[in-house]
Structure 1
């Protein structure tokens, strides 16, 4: 999460996985009737807010921003333990967890207050590749507020502070913070750890996100026709994400989070613009949320990205009406 001058807040994310997860972009309007895909005791809701999301396997929401600029990013966490269902308490598939947040809240504080009450028990299904859906969640909003949600030992742990600008995969976030504390005593200009481990990528991202400029460079902006501070900041954030990405073809047979970077996203939360940068495409593209129809009753729309589809520039006109995917069952 980048915090710049002039209320510029941009959240970037990389998706690292050992195989193609057939991601597509989806537009979900307000008023969609949802459930947690966990059977008779599943939680049910109607979406209060529209959102633009990126799917994983078209079976769950991996990433997204709602119309108020709230961003949810779901990442793999091997240490996750969601406990056992409690009698009478609603349940939700973890594949719907991020979407539940985007559908119901506008700020990080709202999310923290609501999820701290633990309105449901998370059920983690097996992913199509046979791996468990062991995930943690980061949320950020246009004010620069941030929170991390993890289930460890069957308990929900929440870290809430705008200073939490970086999250990666393992270890758990409290240990990531300990790693960050250690590296504050090391000169990062002399040495940064360079492996593809999550801990090393955390260190590099933590340094770089605060090393890039926090205000506009007028010379850079003038050199680009139509350039703005926000465009420059998005480019810088994507540069950070690329610098901590893993080249295609590098994977670990037993650790799915130590894998090639498939794609990167960046969300301009001030202007509510979504950017997508595929590791297999020659172009990045963007979608202003102002170009999308989130009104209740509007159609669900899909931008097919799986299968080598290539887009450039503003891709908002390329979305087509589609039937919403079904969240993977948490039975």
Structure 2
């Protein structure tokens, strides 16, 4: 694991969901972080037993659905898609506050938050209805370097529905609807929407904010999403999404001392919900590669499968047949 020193960790990402005709739904995101997070891809079968990695009263469950995910440090699910076409994306939110630990509630390490959703739900509506009841409390592990993560979660499904989950002042806040197609980082999501409305009123085609700040990325992503061609062609829709995600990516070397919501883009993913194809592009690699869900050898109750990315070969094309059986990783454990 990498060691972080001198500043809070920054997970300053962007996420966009595109809706086209004939149920063509595509979600893209950038992963922005100040140091390598040693990302590898994993394929998990239905029937995988999970432990929420809380110190006291840890949440446990068995996955209902298979999934393909991108893991940080082989200890946290940061992004992924499940067999029903549900996509989950974790992004940085420095103002997140998960409240004081209530040990009467099952605890779930935030490293497993996205995986819990992918394991248990087929649609955004199903996830919102279940998570609104707060069946667990998120607990925070230590990241390498001794820091605790501050994150919010975006999910989208094969109908184009979206939801944003944030914990502010210890309370869960949910934004649910097809209109919530773009998310970045600071400030809280309601303020992101207000800032975007302001820029829509004064900017239009004449002026778009161009910095790497999350509010500026939100505006650009929203604008270019509106400009994207509405097509049922999966090649064109995926290409449109990559063009938007690259536009809001942060250049290598871009960091601001004391601004944890700005960090260079390490990789990008694009998920085709309809055809269940998960695309991956590392900033340091010349190639885009992808995983066709139907071609991954994950049978219910079978072994987990791993594809090395960080220290692996340079992949290209469909890599579904290149996953190898591996022991399921444990989520980063909470410290309290």
- TM-score normalised by length of structure 2: 0.93
Instruction: Name the structure 2 match of 1:81.
Output: 97
SS of 1:41's equivalent?
coil
**Range with greater deviation from structure 2 (38-47 or 253-262):** 253-262
Task: Check if 1:195 corresponds to 2:195.
Answer: no
- 2:292 aligned to 279, 288, 292, which one? 288
* Cα contact 2:57–2:103 (8 A) shared by 1: no
Instruction: Name the structure 2 match of 1:297.
Output: 301
Instruction: Name the structure 2 match of 1:311.
Output: 315
* Cα contact 2:26–2:271 (8 A) shared by 1: yes
Task: Check if 1:96 corresponds to 2:112.
Answer: yes
1:174-229 deviation digits (Å, cap 9, x = unpaired):
1011111111212432110011100100000010111110126xxxxxxxxxxxx1
> How many residue pairs were aligned?
319
SS of 1:185's equivalent?
helix
1:113-160 deviation digits (Å, cap 9, x = unpaired):
010000011111221143321100000000000000000000000000
* Cα contact 1:75–1:168 (8 A) shared by 2: yes
What is the CA RMSD across the aligned residues, in angstroms? 1.1
SS of 2:194's equivalent?
helix
Instruction: Name the structure 2 match of 1:107.
Output: 123
**Range with greater deviation from structure 2 (182-191 or 117-126):** 182-191
C-alpha distance in 1 between matches for 2:73 and 2:166: 22
> How much has 1:308 moved relative to structure 2?
6.0
* Cα contact 1:280–1:308 (8 A) shared by 2: no
Instruction: Name the structure 2 match of 1:325.
Output: 329
* Cα contact 1:281–1:308 (8 A) shared by 2: no
Instruction: Name the structure 2 match of 1:39.
Output: 55
> How much has 1:39 moved relative to structure 2?
2.5
Instruction: Name the structure 2 match of 1:220.
Output: none
Task: Check if 1:263 corresponds to 2:279.
Answer: no
Structure 1 stretches of 4+ moved >3 Å? none
* Cα contact 2:94–2:260 (8 A) shared by 1: no
> How much has 1:321 moved relative to structure 2?
1.1
Q: How does 1:160-239 map to 2 (within 5 A)?
A: 160-215=176-231, 229-239=233-243
* Cα contact 2:92–2:151 (8 A) shared by 1: yes
SS of 2:252's equivalent?
coil
* Cα contact 1:30–1:48 (8 A) shared by 2: yes
**Range with greater deviation from structure 2 (30-39 or 261-270):** 30-39
Instruction: Name the structure 2 match of 1:50.
Output: 66
Structure 2 unaligned spans of 5+ = 1-16
- 2:136 aligned to 120, 124, 128, which one? 120
- TM-score normalised by length of structure 1: 0.94
* Cα contact 1:107–1:141 (8 A) shared by 2: yes
